Structure 1
Amino acid sequence: MEKEFKRNISLTGDIQFTGLRLKEPMHTAAGFLGVKEALRHGFKEMGIVRSMKALLEMNQEDGFRCPSCAWPVPEHPSKVAEYCENGAKALADEATHEHIGAEFFSKHSVEELSQLSDYELNKLGRIIEPMVLKPGKVHYEPIAWQEAYDLLSDELHQLNDPNEAIFYTSGRSSNEAAYLYGMFARALGTNNMPDCSNMCHESSGVALSETLGIGKGSVTLDDLYGAEVILVVGQNPGTNHPRMLSALEKCKKNGGKVISINPLAETGLVNFKNPQNVSDMLGSGQPIADLHLPVRINEDIALAKLILKKLVALDAKNSNVLDHEFIVEYVDGYDELLKDLKRYDYETLQRRTGVSMRKIDKTVRLLAENSKIVVCWAMGITQHKNAVECIQEYVNILLLKGAIGKPFAGTCPVRGHSNVQGDRSVGIHHFVNEGLNQRIRKHLGFEPPAQRGYDVVEAIHAMHENKAKVFVCLGGNFAMAASDTAYTAKALQNCSLTVQISTKLNRSHLITGKTALLLPTFGRSEKDEKKGSVQFLTMESSTGKVRQSKGLLKPASEHIKSEPEIISLMANTYFKGKHAMDWEALGADYDLIRSLIDKTVKGFKNTSEQSKGFGYYLPNNVRERDFRMLPNGMAQLTINTLPDHGLKMDEFLLMTIRSHDQFNTTIYGLNDRYRGVHNERRVVFMNQDDMEQHQLKKLDVVNLHSEYDGIQRTAEQFLVIPYEIPKGNMAAYFPETNLLVPHNHFADKSQTPISKSIRVTVEKVLLPT
C-alpha cells in the first residue's frame, strides 16, 4: 500500500526571541508619534507619492473604505486624515510594492516558508498570480485561472454530498462578494458558511437577538457624541479601533463621562492626542476614561450584578433612578430580575470583581444620575464560556435605565474587520432563514437548502473527522485565527482541496489540503475596472450604515481578479453556464449584484444609489422601540449566573490580546509601544505578586500549558513581563497563544472560542547558554 505523503509544516515558525527591548508603558495615544508611524509604514511599503494619494482618499466621500476596522465614518470627515495609525498600516500592508509570484514559489517550498514567523510571512508581499500546490508536491506552481476554476469544479462535482464542502468568509470582503459567495454555496446545496464573526461577535449577535430582537448594536455615531455616560467594556480602542477615540473625545467635550472596564488599563483610554486637532497635538491631550475598573478576567457578571443591586437599592429610596415608565411599557422580567439580585450580597460580588467598592460606587452614582447611557464592548467579553450572559447582564443595566431606543443611548458592539457585519447582513450565516429562502426562490429562481450548516467550530470538527473534503476561504487566515491550532491544522490537512482567495501570503496557505489553490485578489484600495467602467463595492459599518467603496490605485498585477469576479466565474464553471442566476454577468457588473441584494436581503433598498456618499442606515427595530418579535412583544431582562472556572491552586486565567502592531492575525511589526514592548511578541504579562509567588523574575522564560479533558496543550518559550494586571490573571498575544485554546470549549449558545479565559499553568524553562 502506498504511504500517504505528508508535508512537514511548522505551525509556529522557528521559535526564537527577536531581541526584546522594554520601556515604560505609554500614557498618551496617537499624537505626533502616531502620525509618524503611520507615514513611516506607508512610505516604506508604498512610496511617498502612492501613499499620499491613497491616504487622502481613504474614507472620503468618493474614496475607498479603510481595510482595517469597522468603525463608522463621520458625516463630515476630515478632508486631510479620516484614518488612524492602524488604518494607514493596513493600507500600506495591502498596497505594498513587494510582490511574489511563480519565480518566488519555485525557489521556496511550503515547508521552508512555514519556518518563517507570521510577521515574516506577511512581509513577503502581494501574491500576483494564481498558484496551485499539487498532491505530493512542496512547491506552489502557476496555474491558469480557468484551470483553477475547473479544478475546483471537478472536486465539488466529485463530492457525495454538497455538505462535504465548506465556504468560510473573512470580514475583509465586500457585501457584493459575500452575497455571491453565499448564494453560490446555497445553489450548490449547502449552508456550510462559517464566518469570522463566529470567532468574535457571534456572542453579541445571540445575546442581542434574545434580549432586543436584533443581533446588531442600536447606536449611531452621533449617539456617542451626545451620551452622558459611555461604558467601554473589554475593549482596547487605542489599538483596535483608534478612530473611536475621536468619538469618545467629542463625548467628553460635550460633558459626557467615560468608564473603562477591563483587566488592563489601556493607553488609548488614559489620554488621547487627536491628530486632527492642532491644539490636542501641541497640548497635553484629552484624558478619556474618568474611571477605570480593573475587573478580573471574566468577572463582568459579578460587576454588573453589583451595579444593578446598588441601582435598585438607590431607586427604592428615591424612585427616580430606574426608568419605571419604560420598564412597564417595554420590558419583560423585572420582578424575576429583582428576585435574582437578592440572592447575592455586596461583599461577595465585590471580592470576585477585584475592583474597589469606592470605584464601583462612583460608577453607580454616574449611572443613577444619568439616563443617556451607551455600553460599548468587544472581544474582552465575547470570548468566554458565559459570553452571551456577560453581554446580557450589561443589557440589563441599559433596560432598567431606559437607555434603549432613544438618542444618545444604547448598545454598541464594536466589530473588528471592516465588513464583518455586512457579510452577515447579506446572507453569510450557517443557520436557515426561511424569509431569505423564500425570497431566493422568488427572485433568484433556485431552491436553497433547508438544513442548518456548520459554524467555525463544527466546520473544523467535520474536516478533522473527514466529513468535509473541500474548504474554500474568502480571505482571512483561518488556520491561525481559529482555536486549537494543531487540531485545526490537522483538520485542514485532511481535506482533498483547500482554496484561498487572498491578497498576501499567510500560514493558512501553507497548512493545506492534499491540493491547494491560491487565488490572488484585489485590495480595497485598488481600482476595479470592468469594460471601461470603474466598479464600486459596499460595506456595512459597526453602526449599520451601508456605504460605497471605490479603489483608485493601479492593481498589483494584471493577473489578479476582484473577489466578485473570482466567485462568479467559480460558480459559472461549476454550473457550466446553466443556472437560474447569470453568474458571469454578475461578476462583470456589480450594480446587478446590488439589485439582487435589494430584492432578497431584508433592509437593503436602492443600494447602488443610496450607498453613494456616506451611505444609508439599515432598519433597526431597537431604534424604534419595536420588540414585537420577542416573547410578549417586550425586550427581555435575563437571569445570568456567575462563572466557575474551577481553577486549581497553580492555575491562572489567560486572555489573548493584540499588540499595537497587528490587526487580527496580520502582524505589521514587532512593537507594542503603548505597553512598552519593543521588538518581541513572545511575552506574557503577569502580576508582580504572582511572579514572586511562583519564583519568577522579569524576563524569565516560561512555557504555558493548558489542560482540558485530559489533553495538555503547550505554547513554548515566553518572556515574563511584570505588568498591572489583576492577580491570578495573565495576558499574551495571539495568534501565538491560540495553541492553548481547546477546540471543544466555547461560549454557550454562540460557540465562540474561550480565548479570553483560558486556564493555564506556567513552567519555568532554563535555556542552554
Structure 2
Amino acid sequence: MAKDDVPGVGPYGGPAGGWGALHAVAKALRGQMAVASDARALLRVNQPQGFDCPGCAWPDPKHTSSFEFCENGAKAVSWEATSKRATPEFFAEHPVSDLWTWSDFALESEGRLTHPLAYDAQTDRFAPIAWDEAFRRIGEALRSLPDPNLAEFYTSGRTSNEAAFLYQLLAREFGTNNFPDCSNMCHEASSVGLPESIGVGKGTVTLEDFDRCDAIFCIGHNPGTNHPRMLTTLRAASKRGVPIVVFNPLRERGLERFAAPQDPIEMATLGSTPIASAYYQLKVGGDVAVLKGMMKALAAADAAALAAGREGVLDHAFIAEHTLGLEPLLADLDATSWPAIEARSGLSRADIEAAADVYAKADRVIVCYGMGVTQHRHGVSNVQQIANLLLLRGNIGREGAGICPLRGHSNVQGDRTVGITEIPTPAFLDRLQAVFGFEPPRAKGHNAVEAVQAICEGRAKALVCLGGNLAVAMSDPAVVFAGLRRLDLAVHVATKLNRSHLLLAKQSFILPCLGRTEMDMQAEGRQSVTVEDSMSVVHASRGGLKPASEHLLSEPAIVAGLAQAALPDSKVDWAWLVADYSRIRDKIEAVFPDFADFNERIRTPGGFRLHVAASEREWRTSTGKANFLIAPGLNEDPAVAGDGVLTLTTIRSHDQFNTTIYGLDDRYRGISGRRDVVFANAQDLAERGLKHGDPVELEAVFDDGRPAPSRIYGGLIVVAHDIARGSLAAYYPEANVLVSLADYDARSGTPSYKSIAVLLRRAGSMGSDAAESFERDL
C-alpha cells in the first residue's frame, strides 16, 4: 500500500521552518485570535520589555530581532491568548460525564477558563464559585488533614519564579516537602546524575558558546518540534562549517535541513541549510552503547598516539588536575566488546569510530541531549556517560564547549532553582527558617511517581496542582485515573480545561489564572515575573494583553489566597508580598545567595546568568573533582528477550507541546488530521506479515518477556517510516497506556517513556478477555 493510499499519511518534502512554518503560524492565529491587536502580541514575545514565550526554554540572543518566536511558540501564544472562552454557561450545558467523552484536544479547544469553579455532585457539573468561598473551602479541607504529608503539591514548568517560590513556602509552612514536579518526568535524570559527575544539575554552556564551538553532537532530541528556536543556532553553526553529528532513531526533518523564515534569500529561492553533517540512526535505547563505543575508540586512539610518541587524544593535563575515576572507566571500556556495542546500538563499529574521530579533531565540543536520553530506567547513568565523554577531552568549563540538557517548559529549570524540590538541602532549609521564622520540614518528600503511588495507595488525600495535566502526563493511566478519583480534595490552577480536572475528588476546584501574555495588575501596580531558561539566564517577563476575564487572578495571588486560608496563623505576610512582586524577589535573594541584587539585575535587558560552578571548573561534588562514573553494561532499560519484541519510544507531534495538543497534524513526519499511528521500520513490518497502513495494536511486555494483557494500545494504523530496525514510535501521551507506573528510573523517578518493550501485531489479535479487561481498566 502506497503512503498516498492511507488517509492522513503522505510524504513531506519541505525543510523545517520555511513557508510551511509561516502557513502554520497564520492558521494558528486565524483559528484562535479574533482581534488583530492580540495577534500583534507576537512582536513582544521574548523581547526585553515583553513576555517570555510560554513554550520551550531555549534562551534569547543578546541582540534580539523583531521576530524572536518560532512556529510552535506562535502556537503556544495563540493557544493562551485565544478569543475562545469556557464560561459558566459552557459548564452548565455539559455535565462532567459528558466532558469525559471528549478528546483532550476538544477539551482545551473550548478556550480560556473565566471563573473559579467547584464541582457539584448533584448536578454533575462544575459551577462558578466566589474566590473567597473557594479559598475558604480549600483551606478548611487542607487543615482537616490529620498529617500535612497527606497533601501533594504539584508544579508545572510554566510557573514563574515568583509563584514557585511562594508555592514552596506555602507547602513547607503547611508542613510537607511533597513536591511532585513536571521535571520529575523529563530531565530529573540530569538533575540527579550531573551533580554526581560535575557538581551541578544544569547545563554548563551559554548561547554564545555555540558561536565558538568546533563540533556539536545532538543525542535523543528533536529540535524541529520541541525547541524550534534552536534551529537558528544550529543553522548558524552549520553555515560556518561546524560538524553537527546526530544520533537519533528517527529521521527528523529539523535535524536534516532548515529554512529560516527570516532569511529572504532562503524564502525566495525555496532553499534551506543542511543541519546534520552525519546522521546515525541508532536503535531506541542504544545511547549508552554509542557513548561507550565512542569513548572506547578515543581510549584506543589515545593509547596508540602515546605509544608512537605523539600527543595523546585525551586531555591528560585536565584529567589529572580536575577529575577522578579515569582508570576504572578505561577498564570498563576495555571489557566492553565491539560486537556487544554494535548489537545494542544498531550501528557499525566504523560509524561509531567515525563519530569519535569528529569529536577527537574538535578542540571545543558541545553535546546537546533531550528526553531520548533521560526517560529510561537508567537515565541517570545515561546522562553521566555524556559527561564522561566531555570530560575525556576537557570539554566542560571552557569557552565553546560543554553539556547542554534541552529543557522543555519555559521555567521548568527555574522553579527547581527557587525551591520546588522534594529533597531540600539542610542549608536551604536553614536559610528559609532564618528569613521567615518557621521550622520547615526536613524529611524527604514525594516526587511525581511517588506522589501518584501514594495517592493510588491511599497515603495521600489532597492534590493541589499549580498548572499542568498530571494524570495525563503520568504513565499507567488506568491505575492513575482510578487513584485520583479517590482523593478527598483536588485543586487545579489552570488557564484551560484538561482531562486531569475531570478526575473528580470528594471536593474538586478549578482556579483560573492569568497567562504569561496577560497584564498582571496588583495593589502596587503592574507586575513582571521572572523565568530561568535552559542555560541558567534569569530574565523578566511582562504580559501586555487584557486578561481573558475580570475574574482571573495571577498565580502568585492564587497561591497567597490558598496560603491565607490554609495557614491562619502564618508567619508570612502573604498580601504584602503579592502587592509588589519585587518583595517576593527580595525574599528569593535572601534565601538563595546566587540571586544577589535580583531586582536590579532583571532591569538589564536580557537579564543575568546564575552562577554555574562547573562552567568555571569549580566542582561541587563530594570529591571536589569531576568524576568519571561507570554505567554497568549497555542496557538503558532491562533487556527483554522474546520472539518479535520491539522497543517503542513515545514522541511528540509537531502540533503539540507536552500534553497540550494544538492540532492533529505532524507535518514533518507526513501525518495530517490524526494521531492514531505507530511508526515502524518497513523490514520489521515485513517480518511480521504486516504492511504500511495495516490496522495494528501494541501489547507491552514484562521484563521477563511475558505479555502484559492489561497494557494494550489498539485502534492504530502502522506507518512505514525511516526509523531504526527493532524500533517503534507512537505519540505521547496516548501511548502511556503501555508504561507501568513501576517502570521508572529508581534514582531519579523518571518514567521510562522512551524505551517500552512491546509486541506489534495485526488488530484483533489479542484475546477478547484481555480486550474487555483493558477497556474496564480505562
Q: Superposition pairs for residues 730-745 of structure 1, below 5 Å?
A: 730-745=728-743
Counterpart in the other structure of 2:776: none
Tell me the percent identity: 42
Moved more, 386-395 or 466-475: 386-395
1:362-419 Cα shifts (integer Å, max 9, x gaps): 2111111112011111110110111111111111110001101000100100000010
Counterpart in the other structure of 1:658: 652
TM-score (norm 2): 0.94
> 1: distance between equivalents of 2:227 and 2:29?
19
Q: Indicate whether 1:541 and 2:539 are aligned.
A: no
Q: Superposition pairs for residues 79-228 of structure 1, below 5 Å?
A: 79=66, 81-135=67-121, 137-228=123-214
> 1: distance between equivalents of 2:68 and 2:298?
39
Counterpart of 1:22 in 2: which secondary structure? coil
Q: State the Cα distance separating 1:360 from its structure 2 match.
A: 2.1
Q: State the Cα distance separating 1:728 from its structure 2 match.
A: 1.5
Q: State the Cα distance separating 1:748 from its structure 2 match.
A: 3.2
Q: Indicate whether 1:72 and 2:59 are aligned.
A: yes
Q: Which one of the candidate residues 356, 360, 368 is aligned to 1:368? A: 360
Counterpart in the other structure of 1:635: 626
Counterpart in the other structure of 1:13: none
> 2: distance between equivalents of 1:321 and 1:137?
72
> 1: distance between equivalents of 2:13 and 2:601?
43
Q: State the Cα distance separating 1:137 from its structure 2 match.
A: 4.6
> 1: distance between equivalents of 2:122 and 2:189?
41
Q: State the Cα distance separating 1:765 from its structure 2 match.
A: 1.8
Q: State the Cα distance separating 1:26 from its structure 2 match.
A: 3.7
Counterpart of 1:677 in 2: which secondary structure? coil
Q: State the Cα distance separating 1:351 from its structure 2 match.
A: 2.8
What's the Cα RMSD here? 1.4
- Which segments of 5 or more consecutive residues in structure 1 lack a partner in the other structure? 1-18
> 2: distance between equivalents of 1:365 and 1:671?
39
Counterpart in the other structure of 2:251: 265
> 2: distance between equivalents of 1:600 and 1:112?
47
Contact 1:427/1:601 (8 A) holds in 2: no
After the TM superposition, which parts of structure 1 deviate over 4 Å for at least 4 consecutive aligned residues? none
User: How many residues get paired?
Assistant: 746
Counterpart in the other structure of 2:544: 552
1:487-530 Cα shifts (integer Å, max 9, x gaps): 11112111011000000011011112122100000110000112
Contact 1:20/1:677 (8 A) holds in 2: no
Q: State the Cα distance separating 1:716 from its structure 2 match.
A: 2.1
Letter in 1 for 2:49: D
Letter in 2 for 1:534: R
- With over 3 angstroms needed to count, the CA separation of the structure-2 counterparts of 1:380 and 1:26, relative to structure 1, is farther
Q: State the Cα distance separating 1:254 from its structure 2 match.
A: 2.8
> 1: distance between equivalents of 2:209 and 2:58?
14
Letter in 1 for 2:573: D
> 1: distance between equivalents of 2:124 and 2:614?
53
1:727-763 Cα shifts (integer Å, max 9, x gaps): 2110000111111111011113101000000111123
> 1: distance between equivalents of 2:119 and 2:126?
4
Q: State the Cα distance separating 1:216 from its structure 2 match.
A: 0.4
> 1: distance between equivalents of 2:115 and 2:315?
60
Q: Which one of the candidate residues 368, 374, 382 is aligned to 1:382? A: 374
Q: State the Cα distance separating 1:766 from its structure 2 match.
A: 5.1
Counterpart in the other structure of 2:683: 689
Counterpart of 2:594 in 1: which secondary structure? coil
Contact 2:525/2:580 (8 A) holds in 1: no
Q: State the Cα distance separating 1:708 from its structure 2 match.
A: 3.4
Letter in 2 for 1:292: Y
Counterpart in the other structure of 2:26: 39
Q: State the Cα distance separating 1:481 from its structure 2 match.
A: 0.4
Q: Superposition pairs for residues 587-606 of structure 1, below 5 Å?
A: 587-606=578-597
> 2: distance between equivalents of 1:136 and 1:701?
42
> 2: distance between equivalents of 1:95 and 1:215?
33
Counterpart in the other structure of 1:564: 556
Letter in 1 for 2:641: L
Contact 1:647/1:759 (8 A) holds in 2: no
Moved more, 550-559 or 283-292: 283-292
> 2: distance between equivalents of 1:186 and 1:670?
41
Counterpart of 1:59 in 2: which secondary structure? coil
Moved more, 452-461 or 527-536: 527-536
Q: State the Cα distance separating 1:44 from its structure 2 match.
A: 2.4
Letter in 1 for 2:32: E
Counterpart in the other structure of 2:606: 614
Letter in 2 for 1:637: F
Q: State the Cα distance separating 1:227 from its structure 2 match.
A: 1.1
> 2: distance between equivalents of 1:466 and 1:137?
27
TM-score (norm 1): 0.95
Q: Superposition pairs for residues 320-359 of structure 1, below 5 Å?
A: 320-359=312-351
Counterpart of 1:404 in 2: which secondary structure? coil
- Which segments of 5 or more consecutive residues in structure 2 lack a partner in the other structure? 1-5, 306-310, 766-778
Counterpart in the other structure of 1:754: 752
Letter in 2 for 1:478: L
Q: State the Cα distance separating 1:136 from its structure 2 match.
A: 5.2
1:284-315 Cα shifts (integer Å, max 9, x gaps): 21100001110111111111111111111111
Counterpart in the other structure of 1:581: 572
Counterpart of 1:248 in 2: which secondary structure? helix
> 2: distance between equivalents of 1:214 and 1:607?
21
- With over 3 angstroms needed to count, the CA separation of the structure-2 counterparts of 1:433 and 1:632, relative to structure 1, is closer
Counterpart of 1:133 in 2: which secondary structure? strand
Contact 1:27/1:270 (8 A) holds in 2: no
Counterpart of 1:407 in 2: which secondary structure? coil
Letter in 1 for 2:697: N
Moved more, 114-123 or 89-98: 114-123
> 1: distance between equivalents of 2:504 and 2:213?
48
Q: Superposition pairs for residues 14-29 of structure 1, below 5 Å?
A: 20-29=7-16
Q: State the Cα distance separating 1:636 from its structure 2 match.
A: 0.4
1:592-637 Cα shifts (integer Å, max 9, x gaps): 111100000241122222123210001111111011x324311000
Q: Indicate whether 1:680 and 2:674 are aligned.
A: yes
Contact 1:175/1:537 (8 A) holds in 2: yes
Counterpart of 1:305 in 2: which secondary structure? helix
> 1: distance between equivalents of 2:757 and 2:122?
39
Counterpart of 1:595 in 2: which secondary structure? helix
> 1: distance between equivalents of 2:366 and 2:430?
36
> 2: distance between equivalents of 1:484 and 1:94?
28
Contact 1:469/1:495 (8 A) holds in 2: yes
